[in-house]
């Protein structure tokens, strides 16, 4: 499909997927089309290598997890194979015949994240699922190969689920090297591979686990989400159960940056292309899991100045809002657009890197994920 100059906000909700279309000015928006009505949609993502292509992780409470693809920005969708489909009549799962590892005998519970590969690998997709599974497709989702070094990892017996499940929710690819991947798993932590998934090393040094007796274990951190810096692929921003962190060395070590905020709990983080060294977090009250200040707020981290800034006036949007791990996104325009979807169905948009904000006047179902299909590069 031909590229156009529209910005499309892809919204995954408790009851379906929405495509919200806007102009490059990002002041007027059109809601629709809507798809997968009634199903939990944990993630919708655009494939920038193939304009118009969208992928949706659809988790039906009745029929299980499914993957759908659209070739026309969401006007029509087709179901494509989901991973873990057995090829033999015995219906044996495609991996884990040892029977002694943690919960890999149970079926795939939910699909959490779909990540298109680099432009140099135009047919590659990665997919993260519960229980702590990652798959790779080299044919745009027609088939999936399990990445055994994670899916059969010898330490799986020690990997437990978080409250949202045993989610593998974050997959990041080094833009300079398709063999270097990073993943984030709830209640396990972040891992890095340098050989395309053959070997993985835990990368959680410096991340605190306030919910475990050991303060800084090698694994067991409940990472909630990670965003890469657009200008420096060695720099990452991390929202963890144990606070907000930054790494400048490919996740070899992490430094906590959220302490000045007091409670630095939260689920989501994003870093815009047009503002390197900036990251946006939505701080939540650690127990209430809402913004907890009586209003909607986004915090900007300036990594050069090592300083925080609030982006909204307390009077702008009163209320207590929850935001899930995929609930914030930024676009590639300058100034950056910031988009935040809440668990109660509000979609907040800033078209100017946080200077002004609008609430899209449409009540969505509870929002799981927000991502952007960006317009053609200018």
Binding residues vs other proteins (CB under 8 A): 15-16, 21, 27-38, 61-64, 74-77, 79, 82, 84-86, 89, 91, 93, 105-108, 358-362
Nearer to other proteins, 89 or 176 (CB): 89
Q: CA 368, CA 266: separation in Å to the nearest integer?
A: 14
- 92: DSSP letter: -
Q: CA 205, CA 191: separation in Å to the nearest integer?
A: 11
Closest CA to 94 of 150, 154, 146: 146
Nearer to other proteins, 213 or 361 (CB): 361
Nearer to other proteins, 21 or 300 (CB): 21
Residue pair 243/256 in contact by the 8 Å Cβ criterion: yes
Q: CA 296, CA 320: separation in Å to the nearest integer?
A: 7
Residue pair 211/241 in contact by the 8 Å Cβ criterion: yes
Nearer to other proteins, 20 or 269 (CB): 20
| Token digits of residue 131 | 């229980």
Tell the smallest beta-carbon distance from residue 123 to other proteins (Å).
22
Tell the smallest beta-carbon distance from residue 238 to other proteins (Å).
33
Tell the smallest beta-carbon distance from residue 375 to other proteins (Å).
18
Nearer to other proteins, 81 or 233 (CB): 81
Nearer to other proteins, 145 or 252 (CB): 145
Tell the smallest beta-carbon distance from residue 291 to other proteins (Å).
20
Tell the smallest beta-carbon distance from residue 356 to other proteins (Å).
11
Q: CA 83, CA 66: separation in Å to the nearest integer?
A: 9
Residue pair 276/229 in contact by the 8 Å Cβ criterion: yes
Nearer to other proteins, 159 or 317 (CB): 317
Nearer to other proteins, 130 or 300 (CB): 130
Tell the smallest beta-carbon distance from residue 62 to other proteins (Å).
5
Tell the smallest beta-carbon distance from residue 215 to other proteins (Å).
38
Residues in CB range of 67: below 8 A, 6 or more apart: 55, 56, 57, 58, 79, 80, 81, 82, 111, 114, 127, 141
Tell the smallest beta-carbon distance from residue 15 to other proteins (Å).
7
- 352: DSSP letter: S
Q: For the chain, what is the radius of gyration of the CA atoms?
A: 19
Beta strands in 92-215 (DSSP E): 110-116, 125-130, 133-137, 145-146, 168-174, 177-185, 189-193, 201-202
Tell the smallest beta-carbon distance from residue 276 to other proteins (Å).
30
Number of H helices, E strands in the chain: 1, 28
Nearer to other proteins, 108 or 279 (CB): 108
| Token digits of residue 105 | 């005998």
Q: CA 45, CA 9: separation in Å to the nearest integer?
A: 9
């Amino acid at each position: 499909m031909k590229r156009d100059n529209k910005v499309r906000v892809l919204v995954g909700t408790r009851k379906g997927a929405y495509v919200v279309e806007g102009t490059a000015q990002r002041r007027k928006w059109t809601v629709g089309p809507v798809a997968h009505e009634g199903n939990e949609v944990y993630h919708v993502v655009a494939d920038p290598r193939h304009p118009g292509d969208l992928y949706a992780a659809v988790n039906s409470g009745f029929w299980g997890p499914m993957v759908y693809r659209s070739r026309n920005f969401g006007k029509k969708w087709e179901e494509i194979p989901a991973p873990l489909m057995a090829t033999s009549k015995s219906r044996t799962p495609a991996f884990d015949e040892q029977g002694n590892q943690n919960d890999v005998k149970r079926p795939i519970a939910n699909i959490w994240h779909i990540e298109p590969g680099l432009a140099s690998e135009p047919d590659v997709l990665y997919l993260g699922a519960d229980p702590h599974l990652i798959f790779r497709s080299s044919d745009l989702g027609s088939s999936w190969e399990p990445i055994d070094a994670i899916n059969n990892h010898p330490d799986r017996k020690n990997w437990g689920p978080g409250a949202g499940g045993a989610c593998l929710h974050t997959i990041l690819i080094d833009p300079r090297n398709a063999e270097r991947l990073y993943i984030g798993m709830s209640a396990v932590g972040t891992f890095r591979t340098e050989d395309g998934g053959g070997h993985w090393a835990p990368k959680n040094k410096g991340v605190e686990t306030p919910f475990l007796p050991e303060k800084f274990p090698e694994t067991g951190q409940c990472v909630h989400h990670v965003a890469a810096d657009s200008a420096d692929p060695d720099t990452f921003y991390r929202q963890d159960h144990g606070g907000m962190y930054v790494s400048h060395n490919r996740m070899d070590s992490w430094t906590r940056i959220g302490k000045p905020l007091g409670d630095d709990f939260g689920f989501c983080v994003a870093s815009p292309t047009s503002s390197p060294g900036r990251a946006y977090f939505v701080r939540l009250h650690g127990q209430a899991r809402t913004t907890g200040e009586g209003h909607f707020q986004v915090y900007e981290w300036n990594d050069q100045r090592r300083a925080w800034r609030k982006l909204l006036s307390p009077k702008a949007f009163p209320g207590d809002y929850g935001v899930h791990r995929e609930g914030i996104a930024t676009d590639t325009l300058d100034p950056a657009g910031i988009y935040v979807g809440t668990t109660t169905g509000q979609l907040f948009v800033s078209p100017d890197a946080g200077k002004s904000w609008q609430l899209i006047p449409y009540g969505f179902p509870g929002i799981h994920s927000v991502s952007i299909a960006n317009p053609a590069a200018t």
